[in-house]
Structure 1
């Protein structure tokens, strides 16, 4: 039987088309399959990060428990909440492999064979997969504050992916059959045009596989190839938006955890500082009350006590007022108002307030001040030297002395606060300005020290543009030198 060359050419073109479509289908489907696998793994990894961040947030913000107790108590609640976040069925296991909570409601679903082996593998701080039909179990370590506290199991449905791949296969078969039929009618021109369109689809699929998402449909046609092009375009857009949403969610959760941790630390430091500042004026008031109980017939003492107690009461009222303002504004730094300040007068005022406490401990408080002006917040100046004098009294010896000396050197005002107390060991000199550090904890506890005084002094000095250094002393005792810019 004789065949015309047109028929032979058409048959040849048909065979080539079948081969081309087959090869193209294979690579596109493989590329889509690998891309979906990669995206599924990336999506599940993002979900695991979200789960770990939420569990850590719940762990740090709730009542502190052991990780085992925490999971057993809040496992079901967290699993249900995380299922809402991720859109997947979530199951939490503790470090012993026992189920701590699950989001599955109703009758339990039979376990997939091999789940126990995958769980044991995940308890070794590794990631395990277990698939069965249209379900994929993704088991990943659940990190605790110090080490792994358990395992999180995410149940990922493969139905959509399998349906999509089957749709692609069917679409390629349909397209190939249609194009093959038309190739016998239109010949080389239609084959060439179809080949160009398929090449564009292939490039688009490869771009998605490389995570290079397309910004426009790869081709516009009113046939199956056009629908496939639109499907690839919308799939690319959905994948990109989904990953962007997961990244944004992770960023917000991380920011929330960071803010909560910073707020907790800030609140602790704030409460400690306020407590320390309240105690100093109260101590001065109590000292005068004790002196009045012992010498209630001394008119001079009575006048001095009334004046000092009134001043300290005013200071307490001002601090309480600032605390209330800070609470309303939700911030933790005192508002400072710098002004031109005369140091000699200010030091005499402070010594007058602290003289009652010094006499109560049997100490002598002296002042040698040269008149000078500096630019500083008055309340901060009071805090600085009351704290230093209070420490000098607390850590002094019976019959000792506390002395203050203020002098002008070039363009600086230098104030030295020294005492004859127990001194500071050499090994502790580098740590005395650290918060809550005390040289002698027993002595600090007995005298009511918290280790915040020198830390507050240094912070206030830095804010006011001054410096403070610990001087070398011969024998016992401690001396600090504070330096401020001189105002001409």
Structure 2
């Protein structure tokens, strides 16, 4: 679905505003959270220092007392300034010596033993569980760890404050986003209105509505664009008037070309008729000679000579027709839906007499493919390629024709023979007009070097390509390729 420029502008600005609000909320909330964590750590470490200082003073006054038994009496928690945070005192083996709790539900830390182990290694560890931070730290006296302190500090109020601040930021951010979208919608309304108006003016130009193109009162780039649109509209209107005049002149020129084309076709028809007439006469004369068998040698020589002349004259007719076809205009290609299997089978059937005459084997394997091509031009291509495969084949050789679609969906027609083949250096020249790879063989077969040039032109006119692969004395394969 196409999105309008107004929607894009509003979406972009809203996205930008959302990003700014999100980043601002993230950094502020992160700062608050960081401050709370730092404050909590300060309180915990201060409480830990108070315990450690009290223990040191107590041991200094009562040096003979056993430290563990002294702590076990629990008198330490009689000090109110040590009862601000629930705490437990453990010996280095993890055995509880004394403790103070304000809530019996506290101490849900299932990793207590692990964290006491860290404390025995002179490490301080924290763990937060359900709004309570469990703090474990070694208590030292004269540089040695003599006990483990466990503090259970409630951060419920901190979390409540943080969550309230977060909700406040989300609420204010949402209101700011809505307000921003409303403000930018009003701001972009006039801008997009003028853009849509110019868009409508541009859409009217192809319909010839030049008079509707008017000036928009703006002093920015859109105003300059509007001035350019007016100039373009006036220029197009004038060019259309000029083109109408040129169209009339061109129409007269096309009519003249059609007459010339008609004359050209009539000329070709007359030339063809003039060539065909002596051919018919010569062939008829050859048949008459067959009735006189007095001089066998003369009759054989005459028959052979007349037959060669007939082939040569027939080739001349084909060359003239091919030369005419090479000069055709591109617009004479008339494409239609063509079934390639049917066309190939019909072409092979028409060439079967010549194939049998030369003792050749023809195989045609064509898929059932429909393509939008010019049938007459395509038929001429097939006839020419098959005819070349006949002329330049070996005795009792074969011709293999295939038609299929490759992996890319393109249509491939290949015509392969087992004939004399061609040298690699001539493969790039065989599509040039009047070029003959084997001049002696071409003279014998009546070739003039126009067939493949015509084939290449007819294939390319229909958007196709033709290529060849050949090895001397092994055969030749032509590949014709079309888009589906």
* TM-score of the two chains, using structure 2 as the length reference: 0.35
Structure ID, larger Rg: 2
